Amino acid sequence: MTDHTITEPLPQLPCQDLVEVVTDYLEGALGDVDHQRFEEHLAICEPCVAYVEQIRLTIAATGRAGVQGEALPADLREGIRDAFRDWAG
């Protein structure tokens, strides 16, 4: 992990490091200093803005990719229904 004192100027965050902390950033898990470096980097780096956007769109698209239109195997479904009927008496 990085460890720097606030009194020194913050070292630039290279793009290659940014892509590895993007999840921590989105999760709010970066420390204050690293969070600041992340945002300072985004302010000056087009490709990294595009990268973070790609990650956000990936998350959104994954959210739409659930098991839609799939059905349970018929015998399992029947078994569950029978169990319900036993329970409901």
CA angle 15-21-25, nearest 5°?
A: 115
Q: Please state the closest distance from residue 16 (CB atom) to other proteins, in A.
A: 4
> According to the binding rule CB under 8 A, does residue 32 interact with other proteins?
no
> According to the binding rule CB under 8 A, does residue 76 interact with other proteins?
yes
Residue of the chain from 6, 43, 71, 74 that contacts other proteins (CB under 8 A): 71
Residue of the chain from 2, 31, 40, 50 that contacts other proteins (CB under 8 A): 50
